[in-house]
């Protein structure tokens, strides 16, 4: 009696391993969370006085009028309105936060 050894093909093993890995993988996080958009809209609606610190350390104070993907428009009482590119902004905060901490 001749016995034949039955082996699964290599492609079948690869497919089984791939399906196992896919079941255990978590889905990738979303590329955009919209948190930045939510923050801008909230500050615009409340007309919150903001301080924008630029990459060179200069501070711009004013109210955010509108924004888009590339820039932010700031309305200032003490000077002309400014259109600031987002890459030139180091960080921003509410102007009232400094007064509360002091």
Phi, psi of 82 (to 5 degrees): -125, 145
pLDDT band of residue 8 (cuts 50, 70, 90) is low
CATH class of segment(s) 47-101? mainly beta
Q: Are 73 and 81 spatial neighbours (Cβ–Cβ below 8 Å)?
A: yes
How many C-beta atoms surround the C-beta of residue 91 within 10 A? 9
pLDDT single digits (tens) 43-101:
999 999 999 999 999 999 999 999 999 999 999 998 899 999 999 999 999 998 766 65
Q: Is the pTM of this model over 0.85?
A: no
pLDDT single digits (tens) 9-42:
778 778 877 776 666 667 777 888 889 999 999 9
pLDDT at res. 83: 96
């Amino acid at each position: 009696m001749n016995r034949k050894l039955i082996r699964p093909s290599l492609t079948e093993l690869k497919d089984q391993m791939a399906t196992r890995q896919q079941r255990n993988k978590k889905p990738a996080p979303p590329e955009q969370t919209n948190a930045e958009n939510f923050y801008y809209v909230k500050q615009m609606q409340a007309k919150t006085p903001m301080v924008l610190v630029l990459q060179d350390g200069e501070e711009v104070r004013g109210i955010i009028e509108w924004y888009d993907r590339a820039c932010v428009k700031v309305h200032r009482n003490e000077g002309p309105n400014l259109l600031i590119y987002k890459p030139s902004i180091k960080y921003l905060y509410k102007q009232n936060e400094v007064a509360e901490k002091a």
